[in-house]
Structures are given as structure tokens and as C-alpha cells.
Structure 1
């Protein structure tokens, strides 16, 4: 059970949550949070009117780095409180559907003009969400599944592969609601005890490597194809794959990433535990990339 030594909460927190509810949130939803982290987490939830029990806001901890992250459900919850709210229409597009989009000559925006389905529908190839609001033009966001291909190999890949329609629908709906209602949530990353960009240390087998070379190279091919990879080789391969997910494909970009996010690794030899820590740091950035994908919408 978390040790709660917070003596005073902000007015927003005390107004939104009863003491016994805060205790449950602290012990069940953010058990690894220290006092400062939990205070910020509770304040953000209270200020935005979000419910941690409904998975509208999350607390995630990686070593000495904590992250407060807003879920797609947060956008729908907040949109419901806005004047003129109407439920959005979010649909999957399958390969056998009759689907067409066209430019509205008046608004100069792309709109869905035909979507007819039959069975079997085939695989999901895209999705769209139309955010309605009284007194405003509908906002339509349309996405090809290739735009979110990285989700199927990222940290949350199991959910994306198992519940594709649900995850994809929430993702595109979040974009539409954000644009229609002017919603903007800012995720928060908190680092304690180490300089920003440092990585958590793990107690595992150690084996030194040179980060500017081997860390970003795939394991070299051996003559014995069935020879198993060592833990360090597996760690390097994992990191190389995570760079691809982050859209970093050359050594210059990889070195820039290290200099910006893990400067304490530059020019040093890394043991296996540090490689594993770096992989976890990259996982956090991959998750951040997924959560903030709406910011990349060219219609913004």
C-alpha cells in the first residue's frame, strides 16, 4: 500500500475527490507514485474533470521517470460537457466496403460521400470519425490503416492486434473531437533522481558494448544460423526495431536521439542492464508518439 504523507491537497483535488477516494486512487491506480507525482496526477484529473477509474487518465512509471497520460476516453468525456455536443459517428472501413470520399467545394474539406457494407467485409483498411456539434460544421477525420501501422508493433501491440476496431476507432475519434471542440490535453513527464534523459538501471547480466556503434546495429549474422542470440544481441535487436517504430532509420538520427534523450550514454560503454533501461525509455517515447499522433494531423 502506498505511503501517503501528503498533508494538503489543492482546492481542485479536494473539491473533486473525497479523501477515501483519493486513498483508493493512490493505492490502486498510482501505487508507485511518490507524493509529488501523485499530487500532480490528482490535480490534473481534478482540473480536467477526468475519472481515473474510467481509464480517462493514467499514471505510468518507468524507473525514475513518471508519466501522466490522457486516454482517448478523456476527449469524449470532455466533449460531452461542451455546449452543442452531439455523439460522434465513428466507423471502420473494410476492404470489401463501397467507400468514397470527396472534397466539399464549399468548405474545402474532405467528406465521406458513400459507405455501404456487405458480408464478408474483409480486413479493416481504414477508419473515419465525424464529430458533430450544434451550430458548427461537422469535422471529419479519415485515416488509412497504414498511418497507424506502428501501433501494431509498439508497446501496446497486443491490444491493437486483438481489438483493432476498438483501438483504431478511439484513435480516429480522438482526432475528430480534438478539432471540433478545441480540446487539448498535455501529457506530463516527471524525472527524479537523475538528469533528464537518463535511463533506469536494471539488475541483469552485464556485457559492455560501444553505444555509438553496436547499440544501433542489428546482431551480426553468424555461420551457425541456429545459434541463439545472446541477451545483449537480443537487446540491440530490440533497440534497432524501436528506432524504426520511432521513425528513425539512420545512424545520425539514432545518435541525435541519444544526445537528446540519454546524453549520459553518449561516448560510454553500456552493460545489458543499461540497454534494457534504454529500451524502456524508448517504449515510453513510442507510447507518447501514439498518444499524441493527433498532433500530426495535416488539417490542424
Structure 2
């Protein structure tokens, strides 16, 4: 086994001496191996995180597993293990520290009051709650407790539009609360310990890289399933992802240049040529950005007799994948 990368990491706690571990990548006969070895009760414990021929898959697992270890307190002997530039780290650090502090020291009662306000507002305006304010923003408001519009504007995620729409209502809630620290928020960097911030930061990376790994594995399963001739229902059973989310993913794959035609063709075999032609012509006339006008053009203003809305929209989206691919190919040829 040829070792192509190795780094030593250590973790220290108040209750025990420093523990050391090694992270390594090896290669032999075009097969990659990713491993972690540590000393446990005097014996070396080796965990193989990956063995196989895919460098991309190895990298996804590397980032995710490493982020878990670093959120547990392990730190590398050689820094830059995630290959981030100092410029990017410095540029994002102020916002990240505000987010970190707000998650560690949030005032839960005030946060819940803000969530209740958001839920009522979303219901009144018929919007999804996250369009009103994200959980992260409500956490920051509940922690830093702005008392003026200028203070509220200092929080990341509060733009002029949000300030104009919801600023006064938010202040009606927050101005009733006392606070230990005021604005500006420069004090956060000194109150937050470096270890608190680093551990929080690596937990964020853990979540991010977990999502990336799950998406990579989903892509691998779907593309393999397409080649093997599996149906959408087969893929849903295999991956645990429902049909609607799978069609979302098929659209992503098609935009990225992957060939999904085998599956699209299989799913459209039960549609008549006339129905597909009507949908195709509707896309020619109305474009592909919005499905509702196409739905009404093809199935009428009351499409209930043609099937459930979920089924109809799935048909439209399947044909749209094929339509976009063929029109894009025609443009390239032209």
C-alpha cells in the first residue's frame, strides 16, 4: 500500500492526557483506501472509512468523517486539512461567530415567541415561514435582542426589504426584553472562546458534508438504477426518496448533462402520443418556467378528471426534462 497522504491529529481534555490519531489515504493497484487509526487503552484501533476505486467518493467520505472528528475536538498537526484559504475564512468569520454565539447562548423563551409571531405572519400572508425569517435569523434576534431598527439592521440576513416589512413588529417583541450586552456586536469575538467557535464550525461542516455525501450516494444509486432499467418506484424503494423528490433530482441530473432518457422513456410509456404532443406544444407556446399555465392548457381549468394533481404535475415535469434536453440539443446543433 502506497501512502499518498497522512496527517496526525490530537485531542486534549481536562480529564485526560492528549490522545493522538492518524488520518491517511493509500493506493494500491488503482484501489483507494481511507483510514483512521488511534490509540485506545494502549492498543491501536484502525477504522477503514473507505475502500474502492472512486476518488470522488473517497473525498466525500473524507470530508464528512474528518468533520465529525474535528467537532469532537481533534486538531491536525498540519493545518489546512479542508483546503480553505485564509481569505475566505476571514471574510466569513464575523458572520459565523454571530451565528455560533446565537446558537450556543440563545434565549429560548424569546426564540419561541418569535417563532409564534413568524407562524402567524406566514399564515396571514400565505407564505412559507422561511420567507418571513429563517430559524438562524430568529436565533440571532433572540440572542442579541435589538431595540432599534439600526441595531436590527446589523444582523446578517436583515436587508432593507425585511426591515421595512417586519422590523417594527419584531421590535415590539424585543424591546420588552432586557439584555446583557448591547450593540455594536464587536464584543462577540471576545466573549466566544476559540475552542467553542472551532467546535461549532466543524459541526456545521459535518452537517454540510453529510448532505453532500448523501447527495453523492443518491446520484450513484439513481444513475446505476437507470442503467439497470429500474423504474421510478424501484428507485424510490431503493433510496427511500419519494417520487416527487426523485423527479426533482432527475431534473438536476439532466441539467448537469447526465442521460436520464432510459428512465424518462420507461415512465412515459403509459402516456398516449397525443397527450405528450399537447404538453410539448404547450411548452413551445408558454415556455417551461411555470407548470400551472401548462397544466391548464393541457388538462383544462378543472383537471381533476384527468388524475390527481401530483400525477399530472409529474407527467408535465417528465416531459419537460425531455423537452429541455431536445431543445438544448437543437440549439447546439443549430
* Band the TM-score falls in, shorter-chain normalisation: under 0.3
Q: What TM-score comes out, normalization by structure 1 length?
A: 0.28
Structure showing the higher helix proportion among its residues: 2
For the pair shown, which has the larger CA radius of gyration, 1 or 2?
2
TM-score by length of 2: 0.26
Relative contact order, CA 8 A, sep 6+: which one is greater?
1
